[in-house]
Amino acid sequence: MAVKKLRPIRWNGGIVYLLEQRDLPFHEKWVKCDTVEKVAKAIEEMTVRGAPAIGITAAYGVALGAVRSKNKNASVFEKEVKKAISRLRRTRPTAVNLFWALDRMEECLKAVSVLPIAEQKRALEKEAIDIHLEDEALCNRLGEHGGRLLEKAKNVLTHCNTGALATGGDGTALAAITHAARKNKKLHVWVDETRPYLQGARLTAYEVAHAGIDFHLITDNMAASLMKQKKVDAIIVGADRIVANGDTANKIGTYALAVMAKAHGIPFYVSAPTTTLDLIKKNGDEIEIEQRNPKEVTHPQGIAIAKESYPVYNPAFDVTPGKLITAIILETGVCRSPYQKSLRQALATAKKESM
């Protein structure tokens, strides 16, 4: 099966171009970000979303700030770049990839600080491009590992958006689906709409259709019924943060799917890059959960379905306990319980491979 590729992040002439994901699937519009503030706003306001894509965009934001700087004084230039990094750190708190990418850009700045400003600019630009290219290669490896777990599945359910729109390549969880679809032409996907922001309905369905894979869009509360009817063979999702014991933060609604999968004896997989690992945190209770705008619930896509005055609880993520996860797919391979051991081994392997 020939799978078409999407690439929603572009770097051209010191400017970041982003596919406006809030307009999908009805309009394909590119947003020009020529200042650090515009990049930061694009992350905050979800023009770009998905943990790996946020990290890549933030890295380009730092490169943009450096490349477009007019400062000739080395110390002032350094302060300007660090100010850009600081601004981008304040955009979204849950996705660890953001901070990983910014840490890497800061380390690059430190490493080249003795060089002429022109060379520092080239180094920072190259670092951001490398982060993007590495994620593309990483997605391919995730797809290969995850695809093997799904090759015999007839019906796979996925939640939120984990394809090219969320990453620098073919995706994380969705990459596993597209890789499996190349060998299994009868593969069918159940796409959770993913309330309240509807990433599944707006983005994942768009990606799966673009790839030419058979699918049906469902509301989130239909999943349990499909499992009971034995119409789901596997569930695969992405992750925004995975801690030492395997507890995983992902889009709100993921935890419910894991509980239902356990009840019905269905394998539940998480696919994510090692940059999503936060092994300093011991368990999911230590993960900060982002609270989103109440209007995402009362006015989805700008359409009022409830009174604006109603009190709203709108966490963007929930935490799935590691004990409910069948396997965690990383670019280094497939990790299984006990995660305290397997995740540390995977991270050590990733670090060794990057040296």
Q: Is the separation of the CB atoms in 164 and 207 below 8 Å?
A: yes
Burial class for 116, CB neighbours closer than 10 Å (0-12, 13-18, 19+): exposed
Per-residue pLDDT of 118-156, as tens digits, reads 999 999 999 999 999 999 999 999 999 999 999 999 999
Q: What is the side-by-side strand order in the sheet with 333-335?
A: 214-218, 188-192, 155-158, 234-237, 268-271, 327-330, 333-335
Residue 158: predicted pLDDT: 98
Secondary structure class of 139 (helix, strand, coil): helix
pLDDT-derived band at 7 (thresholds 50, 70, 90) equals: confident
DSSP per-residue codes, 64-104: HHHHT----SHHHHHHHHHHHHHHHHTS-SS-HHHHHHHHH
The CATH architecture of the domain made up of 9-137 is Up-down Bundle (1.20)
pLDDT at 241: 93
pLDDT-based confidence at residue 220 (cuts at 50, 70, 90): very high
Q: What is the pLDDT of residue 353?
A: 85
What proportion of the chain, given as a percentage, has pLDDT over 70? Answer: 98
The reply to whether 143-354 shares the fold of 9-137 is no
235-283 pLDDT, tens per residue? 999 999 999 999 999 999 999 999 999 999 999 999 999 988 999 999 9
User: What does DSSP say about strands 268-271 and 188-192: parallel, antiparallel, or unpaired?
Assistant: unpaired
Q: How much is the average pLDDT of 87-113?
A: 92
Task: Determine contact, residues 40/112, Cβ cutoff 8 Å.
Answer: no
* pTM for the predicted model, two decimal places: 0.84
Strands 188-192 and 155-158: parallel
Using left for φ > 0, alpha for ψ between -120 and 50, and beta otherwise, residue 265 falls in: left
Q: Which of 322, 240, 250, 246 is nearest to 275 (CA)?
A: 240
Boundaries of every domain in the chain: 9-137, 143-354
For the segment 196-209, the average pLDDT, to the nearest whole number, is 94
Q: How confident is the model at residue 4 (pLDDT cuts 50, 70, 90)?
A: low
What's the CA gap between 307 and 329, in Å, rounded? 42
Residue in 240, 247, 285, 318 annotated catalytic: 240
% residues pLDDT > 90 (the chain): 86
Cα three-residue angle 32-37-40, rounded to 5 degrees:
85
- Considering the chain, what is the average pLDDT of its residues? 94
CB neighbour list of residue 12: distance below 8 Å, 6 or more residues apart: none
CATH number for the region 143-354 comes to 3.40.50.10470
Six-digit token string for 118: 């022109």
pLDDT higher than 50, residue 349: yes
- What average pLDDT does the segment 175-193 reach? 95
Taking a C-beta distance cutoff of 8 angstroms, is the pair 143, 149 a contact? no
Reported in sequence order, the residue ranges of the chain that DSSP labels E, i.e. its strands, are 9-12, 15-19, 30-33, 155-158, 188-192, 214-218, 234-237, 241-243, 248-251, 268-271, 277-278, 317-320, 327-330, 333-335
* Average pLDDT over every residue of 4-23: 89
The string of pLDDT tens digits covering residues 51-96 is 889 999 999 999 999 999 998 999 999 999 999 999 999 998 876 8
Span 221-232, average pLDDT:
98
As a whole number, mean pLDDT of residues 153-160 equals: 97
* Residue 330 confidence (pLDDT) above 80: yes
**Model confidence at 1, in pLDDT bands (50, 70, 90)?**
very low
Tokens read off for 41: 């706003």
**Dist CA 149 CA 257 (whole Å):** 18
What is the pLDDT confidence band of residue 185, given thresholds at 50, 70 and 90?
confident
Q: Picking from 36-50, 57-71, 91-105, which range would have the lowest pLDDT averaged per residue?
A: 91-105
Average pLDDT over residues 198-205: 94
240 is catalytic: yes
Rounded to an integer, the average pLDDT of 291-309 is: 94
